[in-house]
Amino acid sequence: MPEAEDEYGVRPGERAIELPARFDAGLYFIGVIRTPWKSRDECPKNPRESRESKAICTIEVAEPYAGALAGIEAYSHLVVVYFMDRARRDLVVQVPRHLGAPRGAFALRSPVRPNPLALSVVRLVKIEENKLSVVGLDCLDGTPLIDLKPYFATVDAPAENPPAPGPIHDD
């Protein structure tokens, strides 16, 4: 009766798969994200909520990669990619608390997904050497940084801006 079991934190209606024995590619943690939030409950529900709170977070780029920041001051907004290193990766179908019904990981912004990457578009507030102060992150303090990119509204925001179909949560 796998549906009734909760031994591994799987709720009724959720489905775990057996993940491959090996990874296909590797990631370097290129820095760390400093935020005011030490637990999931404290975190903003999503980047919009974080933007509205105006909380300032700090992205610390590790030394070997700091040279890759050259020219970043030209941009008002960045895409931040980070790794949700505490999330399990095998739950392809999940029952988020705010939905109460099963939904696929690719139809959710849940941290639980085969590759637990998240992205936020942030506003760049200040640069001091290898540290960027930004507004718009919603992750835990200490989250590993994976990538930074300039954000281009004309490329990254499609002209059709569909309304969200309901309340947006990260789980």
**Who's near 28: CB < 8 A, 6+ residues apart?**
none
Is there binding between residue 162 and a copy of itself (CB under 8 A)? Answer: yes
* Phi, psi of 60, deg, nearest 5: -105, 110
Is there binding between residue 103 and a copy of itself (CB under 8 A)? Answer: yes
> How far apart, in Å, do the first and last CA atoms of the chain sit?
25
Is there binding between residue 157 and a copy of itself (CB under 8 A)? Answer: yes
| Beta-carbon count within 10 A of 163 CB | 5
Is there binding between residue 69 and a copy of itself (CB under 8 A)? Answer: yes
Q: Between residue 1 and residue 40, which ones bind a copy of itself under the rule CB under 8 A? A: 15, 17-20, 22-30
**Who's near 26: CB < 8 A, 6+ residues apart?**
none
Q: Any idea what the Cα angle at residue 65 is, between residues 61 and 71, rounded to 5°?
A: 85
Which of 2, 9, 76, 126 forms a contact with a copy of itself (CB under 8 A)?
76
Q: Between residue 106 and residue 135, which ones bind a copy of itself under the rule CB under 8 A? A: 106-109, 113-115, 117, 119, 121, 123
Q: Between residue 39 and residue 58, which ones bind a copy of itself under the rule CB under 8 A? A: 46-48, 51
Is there binding between residue 149 and a copy of itself (CB under 8 A)? Answer: yes
